[in-house]
Structure 1
Amino acid sequence: MNTSKIIAAAALSLLAVAGANAETYDGVHPLTTGASRADVQGSAVAAARAGNAYGDAANAGVEIVASTTNRAIVREEAVATAHNPLQSLDRRAFYRDQVPSAYNKPKVSFTRQAAL
């Protein structure tokens, strides 16, 4: 029994030695380009100014948005929406995704007035 354990350990150690092939270290890779540092820096600056060549809107340029709405009307709608107390009301927060009728139309004013 003891001999079989020694033979098994020797066989495993031989397999480990045979399987352990380390790669050789070649050091730092040699320089493969002939460009000078100034040339590389110049091309890097040009590439940075060119923008993202792989983006969706890289070659789109300036896009003009034509709006037919008056600026004052848009501002009034924004102010009205900002002052709406039920603006962030989410129906998913209620039972069976139904907003209770008490929330549909506010019967009280949400603004406070100073007492005299």
Structure 2
Amino acid sequence: MKASKLIATAALSLLAVAGAQAETYEGVHPLTSSATRSEVATQAVTAARTGNLYADGASAGVQSFASTADRSQVRAEAVAKAHDPFASLDRRAFYRDEVPAAYKKPKVSFTRQAGL
């Protein structure tokens, strides 16, 4: 019984040693560029000043925009949206993506009631 436990322990330790071998470290990648430090610095400055060549409209220059909406109409829509108490409610912020009924009814009533 003692011998079988000893053999099992030795076998498990051999498996652990075999599985614990790590990769060897081969160092940093070798340098493949022949440019000097100053050449790379000037290339970096040039690239930083030219901007992103792959951006949309980078070489288009100033683009004009012609709007067909009336300024007063846009302002009126913005004021109406700013005064809407339910405009900022996002249904995803509530349980099961549904705005509770308490939020749906207006809190301010513009009707007057007779006092008794």
Q: Secondary structure at the match of 1:16?
A: helix
Question: Counterparts in 2 of 1:23-102, with a 5 A limit?
Answer: 23-48=23-48, 49-51=50-52, 53=54, 55=55, 57-59=56-58, 61=60, 62-71=62-71, 73=72, 76-77=75-76, 80-81=79-80, 84=83, 87-90=84-87, 93-95=99-101, 99-100=104-105
Segments of structure 2 that go 5 or more residues without pairing to the other structure are: 90-97, 112-116
Segments of structure 1 that go 5 or more residues without pairing to the other structure are: 109-116
The structure-2 alpha-carbon separation of the partners of 1:26 and 1:3, relative to structure 1 and needing over 3 Å to count, comes to same
2:92 corresponds in structure 1 to none
The structure-2 alpha-carbon separation of the partners of 1:15 and 1:82, relative to structure 1 and needing over 3 Å to count, comes to closer
State the TM-score, normalized to the length of structure 2: 0.56
The structure-2 alpha-carbon separation of the partners of 1:60 and 1:35, relative to structure 1 and needing over 3 Å to count, comes to closer
Give how far 1:15 is off: 2.0
Q: Secondary structure at the match of 1:77?
A: helix
Alignment deviations for residues 4-40 of structure 1 (CA, whole Å, 9 cap, x no partner): 1100011112222333333333333332211111222
Q: In structure 2, how many angstroms separate the alpha carbons of the residues matched to 1:17 and 1:89? A: 66
State the TM-score, normalized to the length of structure 1: 0.56
